[in-house]
Amino acid sequence: MKTEYQPLSAGFADLLLDVVCAVDRTGRFVYVSAACERVFGYTPEEMVGRVMIDMVAPEDRARTLAEAGEVMSGKDRVGFENRYVRKDGRLVHVMWSARWSESDQLRVAVARDVTRRKRAEAMQAAVYAISEAAQVAEDAQALYRMIYQVVSPLIPADNFALALRDEQTGALVYPWYMEGARRIMAPRPRSLAQAFNHVFTTGLSLRLDDPTWSAALAADMAELPLAWLGVPLHGSKGSLGVLALMRTSGQTFDHDELEALQFISTQISMAIEHKEMQVRLQRQAQYDDLTGLPNRALLADRLDMAIARAQRDGRALALLYLDLDKFKMVNDLWGHAAGDGLLQEVARRLQKSVRRADTVARLSGDEFVVLLENFEPGNINETVQKLAVAVSQPVMIENHVHPLRVSIGVALYPEHGLDARQLLKHADSAMYQCKRSGGCAVQS
């Protein structure tokens, strides 16, 4: 039975939450239902007559035209997704159901806003990507870059900056940022630093569209960042720093973007903390806490590599084993802290006496090793003498001049050994011989 009742003509289309639309052969909208204003930001009057493809995000245009071709060839299509640029400049993710009406010579379609679902999927993927980055990033800088690569497609901005708490001073430092054409981070006006500090000290997110902040920025810089979004990074032991995005295009950040950045910042904080701990542990495993010099483990690695290079290039290397004479007396007379200070001073003196490419390591207590690469064996006495003189300068301890002496034993590659163990053993026993004989400077 044919009914006279025509639902669409009764205004039903305008009650739908999805957008109903029709596009003619030339690609222009000829009809759009009222929901278009919610989805695209344009009223039906503003949309009708416009060329559909002009409203599609540029990156999605080619495949959108291909899809339109499929529909016009008579295929009913459901589930195609693309992005439109809304009137306010933001992107909206749309899922389509469309078919060609031969009688009307129109493409008729229903569009559903799937931005929220897309965002939720993107957030999940971002959280996963960041936790993976924390595992695979080689160092902190690599991790910061990966964080940027995850965040930037999620919340587009032309400036991105990570500000982190400096362990020594407790103040914010800026270890990583990415700038757009209009540079903001490098000049870093005072008011911008204030915005970072505000988020850092309050632990609260900030969207910089507050007119008082903007005025302060305007006074500081000619090219004002019109939008700034900063979220705190909370670590397990307090504030880690701030992650901020800046737009100079005039487009502000919306509440959804603030929420997205806040959501992902938890994962970012965990990743940064994880990496910081890894770096600390790595450092502790390779360096001596007191002097900052390479420890026995790192020396072993460097020595192996140096021997391999010396062997390949047919060059010599020298290993000097140093032990302070009567160091125990310093501890006994002036206390352990004074002894520590003296060991640090010896480390400084040794480092100043060799080339940057050479290695000065602390093995334990008052024992140090110096590894000299590309060494001319004929210069050994002169070199040892130079080091002995540098180390043996008297030190001031609590306003007393304390004399300092050192025993040094030398091993040369390949003369005294072909591997690390042989060389260390030779240099060590040469040093003991030196010490037993009452403090000679050179003994190989």
Please give the positions annotated as active site.
366
Q: Which residue is nearest to ligand GTP (CB)?
A: 339
Which is closer to ligand GTP, CB of 253 or CB of 327?
Answer: 327
**Does residue 346 belong to the site contacting ligand GTP (CB under 6 A)?**
no
Q: Is 180 strand, coil or helix?
A: coil
Rounded distance between C-alpha atoms, residue 82 and residue 45, angstroms: 23
Shortest gap between Cβ of 392 and ligand GTP (angstroms)? Answer: 13
- Span interacting with ligand GTP, options 180-188, 263-271, 310-318, 328-336, rule CB under 6 A: 328-336
Q: Which of 157, 158, 156 is nearest to 181 (CA)?
A: 158
**Does residue 345 belong to the site contacting ligand GTP (CB under 6 A)?**
no
Shortest gap between Cβ of 431 and ligand GTP (angstroms)? Answer: 9
Which is closer to ligand GTP, CB of 309 or CB of 326?
Answer: 326
Q: Cα dihedral angle (213, 215, 218, 223), rounded to 10 degrees?
A: 60
Rounded distance between C-alpha atoms, residue 137 and residue 320, angstroms: 37
Rounded distance between C-alpha atoms, residue 31 and residue 37, angstroms: 13
Which is closer to ligand GTP, CB of 291 or CB of 383?
Answer: 291
**Does residue 290 belong to the site contacting ligand GTP (CB under 6 A)?**
yes
Rounded distance between C-alpha atoms, residue 229 and residue 196, angstroms: 10
DSSP state letter for 26: T
Tally the residues of the chain: 444
**Does residue 331 belong to the site contacting ligand GTP (CB under 6 A)?**
yes
Residue with tokens 């278009």: 36
**Does residue 160 belong to the site contacting ligand GTP (CB under 6 A)?**
no
**Does residue 254 belong to the site contacting ligand GTP (CB under 6 A)?**
no
Task: Catalogue the E-assigned strands of 52-193.
Answer: 77-85, 91-101, 106-113, 159-165, 172-178
- Number of Cβ within 10 Å of residue 433's Cβ equals 14
Which is closer to ligand GTP, CB of 366 or CB of 373?
Answer: 366
Which is closer to ligand GTP, CB of 6 or CB of 364?
Answer: 364
Q: Is 179 strand, coil or helix?
A: coil
Shortest gap between Cβ of 432 and ligand GTP (angstroms)? Answer: 9
- Span interacting with ligand GTP, options 125-133, 134-142, 243-251, 321-329, rule CB under 6 A: 321-329
User: Phi first, then psi: what are they for 91, rounded to 5°?
Assistant: -95, 140
- Span interacting with ligand GTP, options 116-124, 202-210, 237-245, 326-334, rule CB under 6 A: 326-334
- Span interacting with ligand GTP, options 35-43, 190-198, 272-280, 335-343, rule CB under 6 A: 335-343
Which run of H or of E encompasses 351? Answer: helix 336-353
**Does residue 365 belong to the site contacting ligand GTP (CB under 6 A)?**
yes
Which is closer to ligand GTP, CB of 176 or CB of 432?
Answer: 432
**Does residue 409 belong to the site contacting ligand GTP (CB under 6 A)?**
no
Task: List, in sequence order, every residue forming a beta bridge with 364; answer none if it has no partner.
Answer: 367
List binders of ligand GTP among 257-286 (CB under 6 A). Answer: none
Task: Name which position in 225, 232, 339, 409 contacts ligand GTP (CB under 6 A).
Answer: 339
**Does residue 363 belong to the site contacting ligand GTP (CB under 6 A)?**
no
Cβ atoms of 111 and 37 within 8 Å: the answer is: no
- Number of Cβ within 10 Å of residue 297's Cβ equals 12
**Does residue 403 belong to the site contacting ligand GTP (CB under 6 A)?**
no
- Output the CA–CA distances (angstroms, integers) from residue 196 to 133, 190, 241, 432, in the order listed: 25, 10, 9, 58
Task: Name which position in 38, 75, 328, 400 contacts ligand GTP (CB under 6 A).
Answer: 328
Residue with tokens 């690695």: 301
**Does residue 343 belong to the site contacting ligand GTP (CB under 6 A)?**
yes
Shortest gap between Cβ of 343 and ligand GTP (angstroms)? Answer: 6
Total residues contacting ligand GTP (rule CB under 6 A)?
Answer: 16
Which is closer to ligand GTP, CB of 16 or CB of 397?
Answer: 397
Which is closer to ligand GTP, CB of 138 or CB of 398?
Answer: 398
- Cβ neighbors of 162 (< 8 A, separation 6 or more) are 144, 147, 174, 175, 176, 177, 241, 242, 243
**Does residue 232 belong to the site contacting ligand GTP (CB under 6 A)?**
no
Rounded distance between C-alpha atoms, residue 388 and residue 405, angstroms: 8
Q: Which of 302, 297, 288, 300 is nearest to 343 (CA)?
A: 288
Shortest gap between Cβ of 363 and ligand GTP (angstroms)? Answer: 10
- Output the CA–CA distances (angstroms, integers) from residue 280 to 44, 57, 363, in the order listed: 60, 45, 20
Shortest gap between Cβ of 280 and ligand GTP (angstroms)? Answer: 20
Task: Name which position in 29, 213, 228, 327 contacts ligand GTP (CB under 6 A).
Answer: 327
**Does residue 336 belong to the site contacting ligand GTP (CB under 6 A)?**
yes
Question: Which residues in this chain contact ligand GTP in the complex, by CB under 6 A?
Answer: 290, 323-329, 331, 336, 339-340, 343, 365-366, 435
